[in-house]
């Protein structure tokens, strides 16, 4: 369902992760992945893999929210705590929004919620990686206080084209 005159951003709710929405999350991930320019995925993993991923987030008390229209996930944002003890104070952020729903404020709504949950969960730093051509994503992250911490040159190669990648971080303390 596209955004038309009958659908407003108020119709899209930000909800916590759930196994009930895992398949729809997988479909949203697949949609963004197949654009072949924003994510390290070029297609989503199988449904069963994604259900296990979401179950792991739930079991580990990691953070994930969905932007949901009706019963369809149109965006997601998650922070997974790093597992090694020396990095356990940090979490890695990933997010995506289905193309038709970008530029409508969903990224900000999801970021506000996951940052709030990260503080509640005792995280001290959120880390992320973003392709250097993703100007909208970088602007969103900077809006929330993320700073560039480094850059990897020609880190990814997609369809014969090299992509640089920025590392960004947000200190929560």
pLDDT tens digits, one per residue of 33-78? 999 999 999 999 999 999 999 999 999 999 999 999 999 999 999 9
Would you state the pLDDT for residue 7?
A: 62
Would you state the pLDDT for residue 9?
A: 76
3-state SS, residue 103: coil
Residue ranges for the chain with pLDDT beneath 70? 1-7
Fold exhibited by the domain 9-123? Aminopeptidase (3.40.630)
Judging by beta carbons within 10 Å of its beta carbon (0-12, 13-18, 19+), is residue 15 exposed, middle or buried?
A: middle
Signed CA dihedral, 46, 114, 149, 95: sign only: positive
Q: Which pTM was predicted?
A: 0.92
Would you state the pLDDT for residue 32?
A: 98
Cβ-contact 82, 91 below 8 angstroms: yes
């Amino acid at each position: 369902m596209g955004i038309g005159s009958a659908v407003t951003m108020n119709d899209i709710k930000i909800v916590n992760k759930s196994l009930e929405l895992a398949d729809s999350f997988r479909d949203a991930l697949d949609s963004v992945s197949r654009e072949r320019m924003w994510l390290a995925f070029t297609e989503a993993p199988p449904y069963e893999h994604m259900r296990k991923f979401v179950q792991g987030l739930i079991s580990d008390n990691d953070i994930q929210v969905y932007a949901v229209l009706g019963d369809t996930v149109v965006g997601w944002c998650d922070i997974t705590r790093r597992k090694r003890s020396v990095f356990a104070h940090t979490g890695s952020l990933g997010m995506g929004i289905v193309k038709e729903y970008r530029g409508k404020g969903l990224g900000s709504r999801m970021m506000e919620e996951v940052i709030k949950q990260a503080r509640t969960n005792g995280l001290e730093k959120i880390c992320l990686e973003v392709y250097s051509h993703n100007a909208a994503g970088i602007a969103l992250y900077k809006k929330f206080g993320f700073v560039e911490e480094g850059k990897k040159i020609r880190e990814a190669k997609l369809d014969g084209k090299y992509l640089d990648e920025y590392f960004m971080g947000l200190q929560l303390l």
